[in-house]
Amino acid sequence: MSLSESSIYAELDKLALPYKIVEDLKANLKGVKITKKQLDTIIERTMEAYGKARVENCEAVGMVAAQSIGEPGTQMTMRTFHYAGVAEIDVALGLPRLIEIVDARREPSTPMMTIHLSPEISGNRDAVKKLAWELEETTVADLGTTSTNLADMTIIIDINEKQLIQRNMTLQEVSDRITEEIGYEVTPGEGRLVIHPAEPSYRDLLQLVEKIRAISLKGIKGIIRVVIRKEENEYVVYTQGSMLKKVINIEGVDAARTKTNNINEIAEVLGIEAARNAIINEALDTLSEQGLTVDIRHIMLVADMMTIDGEVKQIGRHGISGEKASVLSRAAFEVTVNHLLDAAVAGEVDELTGVTENVIVGQPIQLGTGDVELLAVSTSKKK
Amino acid sequence: MTSPKRIRKIRFGLLSPAEIRKMSVTKIITADTYDDDGYPIDMGLMDPRLGVIDPGLRCRTCGGRPGECPGHFGHIELAAPVIHVGFARLLRKILRTTCRKCGRLLLDEKTKTDYLRQIKLSQQYGQPIDEIVKNVFKDAKSTTCPYCGEEQKEIKFEKPTGYLEDGHKLMPTDVRDRLEMIPDDDIEVFGMDPKNARPEWMVLTVLPVPPVTVRPSITLESGQRSEDDLTHKLVDIIRINQRFQENRDAGAPQLIIEDLWELLQYHVTTYMDNAVSGVPPARHRSGRPLKTLSQRLKGKEGRFRGSLSGKRVNFSARTVISPDPNLSVNEVGVPMKIAREMTVPVTVTPFNIEAVREFVRRGSDNWPGANYVKRADGRRLKITDKNCAELAEALEVGWKIDRQLKDGDIVLFNRQPSLHRMSIMSHFVRVMPHKTFRLNPAVCAPYNADFDGDEMNLHVPQTMEALAEARILMLVQENILSPRFGGPIIGGLHDHISGIYLLTKGYRMFSEADALEILSKVKLHELPEPAEVRDGVKYWTGKQIFSQILPKGLDMTYQAKICENCDVCKKEECERDAYVVIRDGDLKCGTIDEKAIGAFSGKILDRIVKTMDVQTASAFLDEVTRLAIRAITHRGFSYGISDTDIPRESVAQITEIVLNSEKQVRKLIEAHDRGELEALPGRTLDETLEMRIMQELAKARDAAGAIAGKFLGSQGDNSAVIMARSGARGSFLNLTQMAGCVGQQSVRGERIMRGYGDRTLPHFLPGDRGADARGFVESSYKKGLNPTEFFFHAMGGREGLVDTAVRTSQSGYLQRRLVNALQDLEVKYDGSVRETRGVIVQFMYGEDGVDPMKSDYGEGVNVPRIVESVVNGGESK
């Protein structure tokens, strides 16, 4: 007599087990014919195995996490640039990237976005292409070459027609934008724009050329390059440069699946929980790309530590280590003297609860076996 | 054992002048240290009341001998106050935000109490108050005092210790006067505790003189005394202080007084910190900058990191390591010389007195003996040849002896850099002849050790607690699984893997004599039924031999490393013998290779640890290593240059492929020069060309490698092929580089570009972008590289070396930061992870409370295995 699926599930849902294990059980018992007795055995063994796998109390999990992430660091490559699937976009990888993540830099060295699109257009190459051109920042320099005529004191922009069509722009639009930015009249000519600025000197003229070349005509500022790739049955847009706030508001972008490797940007736009997940994902990706397996729980702990105060904090002097409660611990890390002087002025008290402090004063640390206190109760009656 | 005292907390604060005088045992007035007879001068810097360093003398304050007396502070009365450099910036802020006349904070009563409330609140909840204090300093910048109406003047700060008010110099006396006026309530708004730190205490009027124990002088061989840097500096301070006093008493002109005052300030400044920017560092006569107070604390070798966080220990030994596969993984071979020197304390009890007596009787030269006895009254006596018999007789219950290390003792074994907790594990001692530590090569992986001259450290635990922890938590067998990913990090390597591979691959037959020889180092009671009987002679397969060391009850099925992932798996019928089936500890089919017993991967080991116990696992490891060495010695295994030989036709083929590729590269370059090359999206033409050339040449190397590999691969008994296949060492890439073609050398991920302006070496034409001109090595290692190739190869090699050097320092710092940030986290009894203040970091560790080390590669429970065993194995199992 085998049990029905629903009764198995009902039984499993009652268990005091983590969600993942319950789901695992359900998946493995799907379509399997078992008796009540067998199910009980499975449950009993699972509970036993889970009980055995639990962390022990007083375990110094932080230390283990730090070692588990730090130790493979020696085996990672230093090569900053590598091609991660998309050959056209450089992405920082390996040890430099890992350092960047725990440093909580405002801006990663190679900002990058992966933009997924809504189902209506994700299969349509032309629509995706059109959207990609909306994203990529177009400057005057992208459209053609800019030159100066020193005799007439004019600036000439030779517009590349092909580029103009590709980017879905007209000559008029371009000239309007330029006028708007610099305030001088632009005379559209055949495939070229001529500007007559009232600049008196050559120097100012040449400076103006630079200014014109940098004028942003279209797209999102900060998105330098866009690459479209077909993945399974949809097109995905990869960008060099990141601007999450603007990109997720563009129509046709699937905001839920769009991501950036700029953790601080995520914290700002999507909140601290999203930033925590971003740290976990980025760190895990960086490590596994190097062929190193590190348990996700270690990385979670680092990410939680970095985000616990509601903002992304660095692992180091300007973040977690600099804000520790213990004076001695801070002094032993970096900028020793300043910490001591400040502590003296503020009349700080070191409670000696952490590891370093107790090592410094020479007493057992309050972690692991050092955190256990035993009281021996004599069983034999005293005379 | 006495219960140790515990320091509950440490409060930091400033010393007030009154306090400095109170704790001082003497005023220091003379700059001289010793008189002509070599005796310390009273009220000099070496005053005997400040403590003792010379052996045989006693401290005049506490009567202690050197080592007992901690030293006592003295003090110098400064003739004029000076600013403490460390607080100069803070003083500027305080001066700017307080009234120059009435000394009150330039904030009205309401904002002041508001700030005070905020600070009190933050302190109550243990939050940092830096931000609030910062705002106070920013806010309190009124031009007139809200209390007395005095107009405020701008105060300029002159680095490092000067203040100017409206162009007039503020002398430290003026500064101090103003600071004294600030009421206590206002001080609290600065985040300071007026009881612990009054601002005027930051202007020094009395200077504490540290005890001599802090600045010991050393006597040179010539009998000359060499004073500590601090003493030198203090001498300077006293001299200037005296001169200042004399000049002022004599009524010297203001100008001279001010100069001397500045000089005094300079000396006090450099005494505190000799690396203040803007101040020339005080130097020793030889020109070396003095190491003063700040320098003593700072940095890696400073007091904090060097002396307080890192401590020196006794009972340790260090020597070169070498391998010994006949040892258990849980053992370490200790040289006799070290075993004689290192000791374990044993307390004499009625139960062990006879055994202990024997140790004492043997003395210190007769291992295993004892080195010291400690009598009940605390006297320690060295055991010598002469007194050992006498001491053995005198031995009483309650005495302690220091017994020499002997077999079965537990010691900690460590190799630096200690990057993870498996860098220190405990082993059982095996005392051996010769001078190196011996360890089973299977434990090389966690220590990251090899035997090219590595040295390791050994520590002997001295207390019962340490002994118990070493045995229960730190033993090698308890650390087979790595907490990093929940798999084994200990396992066979090199010859262990090739040995077992050769033994179990296919169905090699062994006669009884051979089988028993291979199994001679293994615990074995009897051979199983022979697999074959031919002409009345019994034969056993290699698989049967291997099965002898597998624990009973082990059931496994998996694909070995040699599996080539065919589209349709033939399972048991696999012609490569890559499908491993183990039933009840019997290897039915398949080959044992790296995936089964290797470090970081070992599946069999993994299964034994997780389903059986660690003793079985370590026993299996011991036997595998012994069996493998026997097996490989039995067969013989060697490698020579002729093993990279490939037939002439293959060489011709490789040459052709390389030539063809070079031609292709030329064509690409020409296409590029004609402007016919199509640029890849987002890349320039030059970049595109480079990428295409790299692709082409990589293809050529692979093709050449394939030819060499194909030939060598067909020779099943080629040692290098066996090693690469079984995963013991090396890869097919290494092989093809030896036999086929070395391939493209790169610097920074590009072909080699650097050198002269437009060429890499003068051997090439300017602008040549051809394969050979940009670091393509078409020769094989065996054929030898031509000079240009050799040079390019060296360039690539150098990059690798630089890379490693940079990486170790960077990852070392990363790890230090990670450890420092996370070290205080602990799982509390409620399952949450908290830091020292009790702030909850995770409500449940890792979201499911599973220890990664006890997990199955990250999974808390191996559900499929449980379901499978219950559904297929029936309830009986």
A346/B837 CB distance under 8 A: no
Of B368, B359, B431, the C-alpha closest to B400 is: B359
Residue A337 in this model has a pLDDT that exceeds 70 = yes
E strands, B451-585, are 455-459, 509-511, 532-534, 537-541, 556-559, 579-583
CA-CA-CA-CA torsion for A188, A189, A191, A197, nearest 10 degrees?
-60
Question: B874: nearest CA in chain A?
Answer: A38
Do B789 and B799 form a contact (C-beta atoms < 8 A)?
A: no
Strand B316-323 and strand B437-439: the pairing is parallel
B848/A20 CB distance under 8 A: yes
Do A74 and A222 form a contact (C-beta atoms < 8 A)?
A: no
pLDDT recorded at residue B526: 77
Residue B40 preceded by cis peptide, ω within 30: no
B529/chain A closest Cα distance in angstroms: 36
pLDDT recorded at residue A85: 54
Section B665-673 average pLDDT: 88
CA distance B618 to B615: 5
pLDDT recorded at residue B393: 87
Which residues contact residue B830 at a Cβ distance below 8 angstroms, ignoring those fewer than 6 apart? none
For residue B702, the 8-state DSSP code is: H
Section B754-782 average pLDDT: 87
Identity (one letter) of the amino acid at B777?
A: V
Do B545 and B510 form a contact (C-beta atoms < 8 A)?
A: yes
Section B750-768 average pLDDT: 87
H-state helical runs in A54-93? 61-70
Do A43 and A10 form a contact (C-beta atoms < 8 A)?
A: no
H-state helical runs in B98-249? 109-124, 130-139, 172-181, 184-189, 229-249
pLDDT recorded at residue B209: 92
B846/A55 CB distance under 8 A: yes
Give the tens place of pLDDT for each residue, A182-220. Answer: 777 777 777 777 777 776 777 777 777 777 777 777 788
A95/B807 CB distance under 8 A: yes
Lowest mean pLDDT of A109-123, A168-182, B66-80, B228-242, name the range. Answer: A168-182
A302 touches chain B (CB under 8 A): yes
pLDDT recorded at residue A312: 92
A337 touches chain B (CB under 8 A): yes
Average pLDDT of every residue of chain A: 83
Chain A from 226 to 255: CB within 8 A of any B CB: 227
Give the tens place of pLDDT for each residue, B838-861. Answer: 889 999 998 888 999 988 888 888
Which residues contact residue B784 at a Cβ distance below 8 angstroms, ignoring those fewer than 6 apart? none
Section A52-65 average pLDDT: 91
For residue B44, the 8-state DSSP code is: S
Of B668, B661, B670, B693, the C-alpha closest to B778 is: B661
Of B160, B13, B436, the C-alpha closest to A342 is: B13
For residue A292, the 8-state DSSP code is: -
Among partner residues A21, A68, A344, which is closest to B14 by beta-carbon distance? A344
Identity (one letter) of the amino acid at A226?
A: V
Q: What is the DSSP track for B256-307?
A: HHHHHHHHHHHHHHHHH-TT-TTSPPPB-TTSPBP--HHHHHSSTTSIIIII
Prediction ipTM score = 0.88
Section A37-64 average pLDDT: 89
pLDDT recorded at residue A62: 93
A376 touches chain B (CB under 8 A): no
Residue B36 to residues A69, B30, B41, B220, B224, Cα–Cα distance (Å)? 62, 15, 10, 17, 12
CA distance B624 to B629: 8
pLDDT recorded at residue A213: 78
In this structure, what are the phi and psi dihedrals at residue B465, rounded to the nearest 5 degrees?
A: -60, -45
Residue B874 in this model has a pLDDT that exceeds 60 = no
Helix (H) or strand (E) holding B703: helix B685-714
Residue B28 in this model has a pLDDT that exceeds 80 = yes
Identity (one letter) of the amino acid at B35?
A: D
Confidence class for position B877, pLDDT limits 50, 70, 90: very low
pLDDT recorded at residue B1: 46
Section B78-103 average pLDDT: 87
Confidence class for position A37, pLDDT limits 50, 70, 90: confident
CA distance B184 to B713: 86
Average pLDDT of every residue of chain B: 87
A288 touches chain B (CB under 8 A): no
Section B274-300 average pLDDT: 87
- CA geometry: angle at A360 spanning A359 and A361, to 5°? 95
Confidence class for position B472, pLDDT limits 50, 70, 90: very high
A336 is written with which tokens? 């020793």
B130 is written with which tokens? 């830096």
pLDDT recorded at residue B47: 84
pLDDT recorded at residue A88: 65
Section B139-167 average pLDDT: 81
pLDDT recorded at residue A80: 52
The helix/strand/coil state of A56 is: coil
In this structure, what are the phi and psi dihedrals at residue A154, rounded to the nearest 5 degrees?
A: -120, 160
Give the tens place of pLDDT for each residue, B33-71. Answer: 787 777 788 888 888 888 888 777 788 888 888 888 888
A40/chain B closest Cα distance in angstroms: 10
Give the tens place of pLDDT for each residue, B588-599. Answer: 888 888 888 888
B302/A319 CB distance under 8 A: no
Q: Which of B5, B6, B10 best probes binding to A when mutated, by most A CB atoms within 10 angstroms?
A: B10
Residues of chain B positioned with their CB less than 8 A from the CB of A301: 822, 825, 833, 841-842, 845-846
**Bridge partners (DSSP) listed for residue A305:** none
Question: A101: nearest CA in chain B?
Answer: B814
Residues of chain A positioned with their CB less than 8 A from the CB of B1: none
A340 touches chain B (CB under 8 A): yes
In this structure, what are the phi and psi dihedrals at residue B193, rounded to the nearest 5 degrees?
A: -105, 110
Do A152 and A158 form a contact (C-beta atoms < 8 A)?
A: no
Give the tens place of pLDDT for each residue, A76-130. Answer: 876 655 554 556 677 888 888 899 999 988 888 888 888 888 888 877 888 888 8
CA distance A324 to B824: 10
Section B80-97 average pLDDT: 89
Residue A383 in this model has a pLDDT that exceeds 50 = no
